[in-house]
Amino acid sequence: MVEATGTPLDRVDGRLKVTGAARYSAEWDVPGLTYGAIVTSTVAHGTVRAIDSTAALRAPGVLTVLTHENAPRLQPFPEKVNGSLFRGEGGITETRQPLQDANVEYAGQPLAVVVADTLERARHAASLVRVTYEQRPPELNITASSRRTLPETFTGNKEEKLQVTVGDPKVALAAAPVKLEQVYESAITHHNPIEQLASIARWETRNGSEFLTLYDTTRGVENMQEVVSNSLSVPKENVHVICPFIGGAFGSKGWLFAPPLLTAMAARVAKRPVKIEWRRQDMFAVAGQRAATRQTLSLGATRDGKLTALQHDTQTHSSQSSGYTEPCARVSRMMYAVPNLGFAHQLSHLHLPSPCPMRGPGETVGGWALECAMDELAAELNLDPVELRLRNYAETNPETGKPWSSKHLRECYARGQELIGWSKRNPKPRSMREGNTLIGYGMATTMYPAARRPAEAKATLFADGRALVQSATHELGNGAYTIFRQISADGLALPVERVRFELGDSALPNAPTSGGSATTATIGPAALAACRNVLGALKRLAIRDAQSPLYGATEDALEARDGRLVRKAAPTQGEEYGTILRRAKLPSLEASGEAKPGDEREKYSFYSFGAVFVKVRVDELTGTIRLAQLCAVYDVGRLMNPKTAHSQIIGGVSMGLGATLMEETHYDQQNGRAVVRNLADYHVPSMADTPNIQVEWLNIPDPHISELGARGIGEIGCVGTPAAITNAVYHATGRRFRSLPLTPDKVLPT
Amino acid sequence: MPDELQPLLPTGATVPNCELPDGTRLHELRGQPVVLAFASIDWNPAQVYQSEIFTRLLQEFDAGISSLEARTTTWHSLDWHSEAATQLGVTGQRALLLLDEQGVLRWQTTVTPGQEIRPGQVLAALEALRPPMSVTGEAPAAAGGVSRRTFLTATLAASALLLLVGASTAAEPVAATKNHPPMLPTPPADTVPITLTINGKTHRLEVEPRVALLDALRENLHLTGTKKGCDHGQCGACTVHLDGQSALSCLTLAVMGEGRQITTIEGLAQGDDLHPVQAAFVKHDAFQCGYCTPGQIMAAAALVQDKQKRSAAEIREAMSGNLCRCAAYPNIIAAIQETQTA
Amino acid sequence: MYPFQYQRATTPEQAVAAVAKVSGAAFVAGGTSQLDLMKEDVLRPSLLVDVSPLPLKTISAFEGGLRLGAGVSNTAAAIHPEVQARYPAVSEALLAGASTQIRNMASMGGNPLQRTRCPYFRDPAQPCNKREPGTGCAALKGLNRVHAIFGASTACVATHPSDLAVALAALDAQVQVTGPGGTRTIAFPDLHRLPGDTPQQDTTLVPGELITSIDLPSFTGRSHYLKVRERASYAFALVSCAVALEMDGKKIRRARVALGGVAHKPWRVPAAEALLAGKKPSEKLFRAATEVAFADAKPLEHNAYKLTMGRNLMLRALLETSGLQPLQGPAGTAFAASVGGVGGE
Cα distance from A123 to chain C (closest Cα, Å)?
7
The one-letter amino acid at C212: T
Chain A residue numbers touching C316 (CB-CB < 8 A) = 436, 621
Q: Are residues B95 and B205 in the same domain?
A: no
Q: Where are the beta strands (DSSP E) in A117-261?
A: 130-135, 148-149, 164-166, 178-186, 198-206, 209-216, 239-242
The burial class, CB within 10 Å (0-12 / 13-18 / 19+), for B189 is: exposed
Query: Do the two domains C1-50 and C222-337 of this chain adopt the same fold?
Result: no
Please say whether the beta carbons of A114 and A126 come within 8 A: yes
What pLDDT is recorded for position B39?
64
A285 sits in which H/E element:
helix A280-286
Cα distance from C314 to chain B (closest Cα, Å)?
24
From residue B244, alpha-carbon distances to A652, B155, B305 in Å are: 34, 41, 9
Residue B126 to residue B133: CA distance in whole angstroms: 11
Please say whether the beta carbons of A508 and A472 come within 8 A: yes
Could you give the angle at the alpha carbon of B296 between the alpha carbons of B294 and B299, nearest 5°? 105
The CATH code that applies to domain A453-596 is 3.30.365.10
CB contact under 8 A, A650 and B331: yes
What pLDDT is recorded for position A220?
97
Mean pLDDT of all residues in A122-133: 98
Please say whether the beta carbons of A288 and A310 come within 8 A: no
The burial class, CB within 10 Å (0-12 / 13-18 / 19+), for C13 is: middle
- Let me know how long chain B is: 342
Mean pLDDT of all residues in A227-255: 97
Q: How confident is the model at residue B151 (pLDDT cuts 50, 70, 90)?
A: very low
CB contact under 8 A, B326 and A119: no
What pLDDT is recorded for position B138?
37
Q: What is the rounded radius of gyration, in angstroms, for the C-alpha atoms of chain B?
A: 23
Of A677, A673, A674, A675, the residue nearest A135 (C-alpha): A673
Q: How confident is the model at residue B84 (pLDDT cuts 50, 70, 90)?
A: confident
Please say whether the beta carbons of A413 and A393 come within 8 A: no
Q: Are residues B203 and B318 in the same domain?
A: no
What pLDDT is recorded for position A207?
81
- The domain defined by C222-337 carries CATH number 3.90.950.20: no
- Asked if residue B184 is part of any domain, the answer here is no
More confident residue, A358 or B98: A358
Q: Return the SS3 of A543.
A: helix
Q: Return the SS3 of B209.
A: coil
Q: What is the pLDDT of residues A568-581, one digit of tens each?
A: 999 999 999 999 99
From residue C102, alpha-carbon distances to C91, C214, C238 in Å are: 15, 19, 19
From residue C72, alpha-carbon distances to A338, B214, C25, C60, C98 in Å are: 66, 24, 23, 11, 16
List the beta bridge partners of residue B202: B197
Mean pLDDT of all residues in A585-593: 92
DSSP string, C185-239: EEEGGGTB---TT-TT--BSPPTT-EEEEEEEPP--SEEEEEEE-SSSSS---SE
CB contact under 8 A, B190 and C75: no
What pLDDT is recorded for position A436?
83
Residue B249 to residue C336: CA distance in whole angstroms: 30
Residue ranges per structural domain of chain C: 1-50, 222-337
CATH fold of A402-452+602-750: Aldehyde Oxidoreductase; domain 4 (3.30.365)
What pLDDT is recorded for position B189?
59
Chain B residue numbers touching C100 (CB-CB < 8 A) = 246, 299, 302-303, 318-319, 321
The class that CATH gives domain C1-50 is alpha beta
B19, closest residue in chain A (CA to CA): A464
Mean pLDDT of all residues in B59-70: 37
What pLDDT is recorded for position B131?
33
- What CATH number corresponds to the domain at position B319? 1.10.150.120
Does A127 touch chain B if contact means CB atoms closer than 8 Å?
no
B82, B225, B279 ranked by CB distance to A20: nearest: B225
- What CATH number corresponds to the domain at position B206? 3.10.20.30
Does A117 touch chain B if contact means CB atoms closer than 8 Å?
yes
CATH fold of A32-194+248-362: Aldehyde Oxidoreductase; domain 3 (3.90.1170)
Of A551, C105, C184, the residue nearest B247 (C-alpha): C105
CB contact under 8 A, C343 and A691: yes
Q: Are residues B30 and B146 in the same domain?
A: yes
From residue C62, alpha-carbon distances to A548, C47, C175, C218 in Å are: 91, 34, 13, 9
Q: How confident is the model at residue B135 (pLDDT cuts 50, 70, 90)?
A: very low
Residue A307 to residue B247: CA distance in whole angstroms: 57
Residue B112 to residue B169: CA distance in whole angstroms: 9
CB contact under 8 A, C126 and A671: yes
Could you give the angle at the alpha carbon of A601 between the alpha carbons of A600 and A605, nearest 5°? 105
Q: Return the SS3 of C75.
A: helix
Mean pLDDT of all residues in A300-329: 98
Mean pLDDT of all residues in A174-182: 98
> Tens place of pLDDT for every residue, chain C, 345 residues?
999 999 999 999 999 999 999 999 999 999 999 999 999 999 999 999 999 999 999 999 999 999 999 999 999 999 999 999 999 999 999 999 999 999 999 999 999 999 999 999 999 999 999 999 999 999 999 999 999 999 999 999 999 999 999 999 999 999 999 999 999 999 999 999 999 999 999 999 999 999 999 999 999 999 999 999 999 999 999 999 999 999 999 999 999 999 999 999 999 999 999 999 999 999 999 999 999 999 999 999 999 999 999 999 999 999 999 999 999 999 999 999 999 999 998
Residue ranges of alpha helices (H) inside B61-118 are 62-72, 83-87
For the cut 90, the answer to whether the pLDDT of residue B196 exceeds it is: yes
Of C300, C294, C334, C338, the residue nearest C312 (C-alpha): C294
Please say whether the beta carbons of A503 and A621 come within 8 A: no
Of A145, A151, A146, A45, the residue nearest A88 (C-alpha): A151
Cα distance from B339 to chain C (closest Cα, Å)?
19
Q: Which residues of A carry out catalysis?
A: 715
What pLDDT is recorded for position B41?
54
What pLDDT is recorded for position B35?
67
Give how many domains chain B has, as a whole number: 3
CB contact under 8 A, B188 and A206: no
For the cut 70, the answer to whether the pLDDT of residue A293 exceeds it is: yes
What pLDDT is recorded for position B9?
73
For the cut 50, the answer to whether the pLDDT of residue A677 exceeds it is: yes
Could you give the angle at the alpha carbon of A69 between the alpha carbons of A64 and A71, nearest 5°? 55
Widest CA span of chain A, in angstroms? 88
Q: Are residues B69 and B158 in the same domain?
A: yes
Residue A75 to residue A91: CA distance in whole angstroms: 18
Q: What is the pLDDT of residues B203-262, one digit of tens each?
A: 999 999 999 999 999 999 999 999 999 999 999 999 999 999 999 999 999 999 999 999
Residue C339 to residue C96: CA distance in whole angstroms: 10
Does A624 touch chain C if contact means CB atoms closer than 8 Å?
yes
A742: region left, alpha or beta (phi > 0 left; psi from -120 to 50 alpha):
beta
Mean pLDDT of all residues in A615-642: 97
Lowest mean pLDDT among A5-9, B117-121, B127-131, C340-344: B127-131
What pLDDT is recorded for position B88?
80
Residue B116 to residue B222: CA distance in whole angstroms: 9
What pLDDT is recorded for position B126?
46
Chain A residue numbers touching C122 (CB-CB < 8 A) = 678
Crossing angle of helices B119-136/B148-166, nearest 10°?
160
CB contact under 8 A, A647 and B329: no
A22, A505, A655 ranked by CB distance to B48: nearest: A505
For A655-724, give the secondary structure using H, E and C: HHHHHHHCCCCCECCCCCCECCCCCCCCCCCCHHHCCEEEEEECCCCCCCCCCCCECCCCCCCCCCHHHH
Q: Are residues B33 and B170 in the same domain?
A: yes
Query: Do the two domains A32-194+248-362 and A453-596 of this chain adopt the same fold?
Result: no
Please say whether the beta carbons of A696 and A649 come within 8 A: no
Of A743, A709, A724, the residue nearest A652 (C-alpha): A724
Q: Which residues contact C94 (CB under 8 A, 6 or more apart)?
A: C74, C75, C77, C78, C103, C163, C164
Q: How confident is the model at residue B74 (pLDDT cuts 50, 70, 90)?
A: very low
What pLDDT is recorded for position A208?
86
Cα distance from A341 to chain C (closest Cα, Å)?
38
Q: Where are the beta strands (DSSP E) in B22-104?
A: 34-39, 78-79, 94-99
Residue ranges per structural domain of chain A: 32-194+248-362, 402-452+602-750, 453-596
Beta strand pairing call for A110-116 and A293-301: unpaired
Could you give the angle at the alpha carbon of B11 between the alpha carbons of B7 and B13, nearest 5°? 85
Which residues constitute the domain of residue B143? 26-179
- Let me know how long chain C is: 345
Chains with 3+ CB–CB pairs under 8 A to C are: A, B
DSSP string, A241-263: EE-S--S--BTBSSS--HHHHHH
Q: Return the SS3 of C131.
A: coil
DSSP string, A88-121: STT-SSB-PPTTSSSEE-STT-EEEEEEESSHHH
